[in-house]
């Protein structure tokens, strides 16, 4: 496993297992399979409704807690200092752990400054090893960085070969915020798995399009958290550390960047109305 070092010195696996859209009834089994495969970083969220499954897997896997890196996220409905404090304790309970390795603000809406203050407090109390954000575009990330006491360690944003976030990445690097990808396969959109460039390059190394895309982001020092409910695919996604893309192949994949979301924009009023409307 390769690691990145966050701005507070905490080491984080560059490859993890994400449980977005994993059925809560299946989550425990999936996480146990992922840990068995070799994953040590697990990414969940309050809004995924499967923190309990992750917690069950953590308690049953047989590994010392310190060998695992667990991420969860505070949802919009739990925003604000008081609500966030309560939700952090609830996440700790559901995850069956005394501490969370990385806690993120899930969306840049509602009172996220109040949320961040609660996270800073929990960080100082040792309940969280690192804090950060998710889906923060450069403008909001810069604003936050200037007015908090504990700098965000991570920003998890949509990142895949068709939306590589070059501009946002420059801002993250400037403020020493680690770039983390959600949706590294674009959830199969844009014919991701049959993309000619990815498959041609993958064939050169004896790898799939998915493995090639993951390796590309790992070589760009982007943390990735692919998700699968099948142990065979989990193993395939994990098998990306025995090869390296050469400069020419990196350039070819860089050229796939369309510089726009495959899903939605947080600047789009309809998207914002939809996300904020979820808490009513």
106 assigned ligand-binding residue? yes
Sign of CA dihedral 26, 279, 114, 270: positive
Question: Does 205 participate in catalysis according to the annotation?
Answer: no
145 Cβ contact list (under 8 Å, min separation 6): 151, 152, 175, 177
Q: Which of 39, 48, 112, 123 is catalytic?
A: 48
Three-class HEC string of the chain: CCEEECCCCCEEECECEECCCCCHHHHHHHHHHHHHHCCCEEECCHHHCCHHHHHHHHHHCCCCHHHCEEEEEECHHHCCHHHHHHHHHHHHHHHCCCCECEEEECCCCCCHHHHHHHHHHHHHCCCECCEEEECCCHHHHHHHHHCCCCCCCEEEEECECCECCHHHHHHHHHCCCEEEEECCCHHHHHHHHHCHHHHHHHHHHCCCHHHHHHHHHHHCCCEECCCCCCHHHHHHHHCCCCCCCCHHHHHHHHCCCCCCCCCCCCCCHHHHHHHHHCCC
Residues comprising the binding site? 106
- What are the residue numbers of the active site? 48
| Binding-site sequence positions for substrate | 106
């Amino acid at each position: 496993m390769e690691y990145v070092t966050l701005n507070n010195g905490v080491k984080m696996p560059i490859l993890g297992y994400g449980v977005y859209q994993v059925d809560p009834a299946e989550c425990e089994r999936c996480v146990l399979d992922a840990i068995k495969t070799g994953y040590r970083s697990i990414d969940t969220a309050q809004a995924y409704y499967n923190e309990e499954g992750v917690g069950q897997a953590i308690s049953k896997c047989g590994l010392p807690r310190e060998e695992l890196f667990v991420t969860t996220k505070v949802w919009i409905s739990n925003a604000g200092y008081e609500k966030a404090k309560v939700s952090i304790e609830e996440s700790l309970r559901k995850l069956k752990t005394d501490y969370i390795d990385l806690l993120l603000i899930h969306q840049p809406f509602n009172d996220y400054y109040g949320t961040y203050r609660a996270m800073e407090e929990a960080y100082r109390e040792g309940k969280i090893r690192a804090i950060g954000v998710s889906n923060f575009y450069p403008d909001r990330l810069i604003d936050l960085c200037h007015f908090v006491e504990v700098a965000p360690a991570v920003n998890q944003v949509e990142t895949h070969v068709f939306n590589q976030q070059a501009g946002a990445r420059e801002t993250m690097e400037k403020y020493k915020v680690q770039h983390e990808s959600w949706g590294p396969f674009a959830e199969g959109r844009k014919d991701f798995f049959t993309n000619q460039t990815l498959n041609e390059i993958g064939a050169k190394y004896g790898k799939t399009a998915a493995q090639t895309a993951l390796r590309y982001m790992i070589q760009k020092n982007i943390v990735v958290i692919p998700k699968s409910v099948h142990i065979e695919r989990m193993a395939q996604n994990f098998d990306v550390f025995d090869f390296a893309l050469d400069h020419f192949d990196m350039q070819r994949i860089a050229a796939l960047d369309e510089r726009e979301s495959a899903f939605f924009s947080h600047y789009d009023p309809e998207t914002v109305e939809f996300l904020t409307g979820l808490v009513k």
